[in-house]
Amino acid sequence: MSQSNRTALVTGASAGIGAAFARHLASEGYSLLLVARRAERLNELAKELSAQHDVRCDVFAADLNDPSAPAQIMAFAQEQGITIDVLINNAGLSGKTAFADTPWTTLAGEIQLMVTALTELCHRVLPGMQERGWGRIVNLSSLAAFSPPGASLLYTGIKSYVLNISQSLDMELKPQGIHVTALCPGFTRSEFHDTMGTRDAANKLPAVLWQDADDVVREGWQAVMKGKPVCVPGVVNKLVASSVRPLPVGLQYHLGNKLNPFKE
């Protein structure tokens, strides 16, 4: 099966790494099912990519904080006759307020979005991939998964889960022709910090720590196609990940508490 007969589902596709994945996959001839909350942004991107690369681009506006969203996405795909050969689980966010001061509904939304929905979409696309004997799944983890935990943040724990479950799935599914990669970027130029209200803190970080979304996507896609279960893009990020992991748990805790750039 050629790329022109394959379709990629990209969540969080309206901006940042998600939009960069959509552009990269379209340039390689993949049809697209773009998912995010902002329908207008999705439609603009779909129109752009269809015209530029002559690929089919379907759009489904959904909020993955809604527990029913994964089933709705897959029902839409079935109605449109779309088979999902590539899944890019990109949608994400990070809280910035103290755990005890954050409403449970907000915390539950983070877990639903980045743990439950991500895992459910993996589970829902697998039967078709297994039947066809081919599939690619990229789950957006983070350099934070290698880093010491940060005060008050669910984000580090969630991204550690994504790192671990991606490796577990890859172990199970690779013999069936399905590759799963945890993509673990560091600081990436996108709207993420504007949306989270952490732009001022992010701007204080050294320029050497930042990557462009296109570079992150290029490395991540090469990794999943080569069957690498973990991808830490960028030389600086690789150095950070390799230097932090060997540290004792107690020291990681201390560093996470003292060096968190978003701690007020």
Which tokens is 183 given? 């993509």
Q: Which amino acid is at 231?
A: C
Domains for the chain: give ranges and CATH numbers. Answer: 3-259 (3.40.50.720)
Nearest to 7 by CA among 63, 77, 70, 62: 77
Low-confidence stretches of the chain (pLDDT beneath 50)? 193, 196, 199
Contact status, residue 37 vs residue 61, Cβ threshold 8 Å: yes
Q: What is the pLDDT of residue 249?
A: 58
Using the structure block, give the residue that is written with the tokens 């993420």.
192
Give just the sign of the alpha carbon dihedral 158, 163, 166, 168: negative
Q: What is the pLDDT of residue 110?
A: 96
Per residue in 54-74, pLDDT (tens digit) is 999 999 999 999 999 999 999
CA distance 224 to 22: 15
Active site residues: 155
Q: What is the pLDDT of residue 147?
A: 83
The pTM (predicted TM-score) of the whole model is: 0.88
Q: What is the pLDDT of residue 3?
A: 64
Q: What is the pLDDT of residue 10?
A: 98
Non-local CB neighbours of 64 within 8 Å, separated by 6+ positions: 11, 35, 70, 91, 112, 113, 117
